[in-house]
Amino acid sequence: MLADMVQSVLSKMDDPDDQFVDAEVVALEFAAEKIVAARKAAGLTQKQLGAKLKIPQSQISRIERNPDRTTVRTLKRIAKALKVDVSALV
């Protein structure tokens, strides 16, 4: 997983059309990928994780796409449901 994330960043840096790589955007992409990877490692679908947290699958999808658009409280709940430390998600 980490190798894929690094490769993604390196490909952006090598793209001659990109004048710069925004570190904040890269950090958010890493967080999104970590959340997805943790969910999959737990063997859960978005719907199953949503059911565990009593939130809609669509909200899980939004969090996985845009982790900056959620609260720390929700990230902590996700981490607890996935049995990982919240630091593993961000």
Q: Does the pLDDT at position 19 exceed 70? A: no
pLDDT digits (tens, 9 = 90+) for 47-81: 999 999 999 999 999 999 888 888 889 999 999 99
Separation between Cα atoms, residue 73 and residue 15, nearest integer Å: 37
pLDDT digits (tens, 9 = 90+) for 2-18: 566 566 666 766 666 76
What's the whole-number mean pLDDT along residues 14-35? Answer: 74
Long-range Cβ pairs for the range 26-33 (8 Å, 24+): 28/66, 28/67, 28/68, 29/5, 30/5, 31/67, 31/68, 31/89, 31/90, 32/64, 32/65, 32/66, 32/67, 33/1, 33/4, 33/5
Domain ranges of the chain: 2-88
Q: Which CATH superfamily is domain 2-88 in?
A: lambda repressor-like DNA-binding domains (1.10.260.40)
The type of residue at 86 is: V
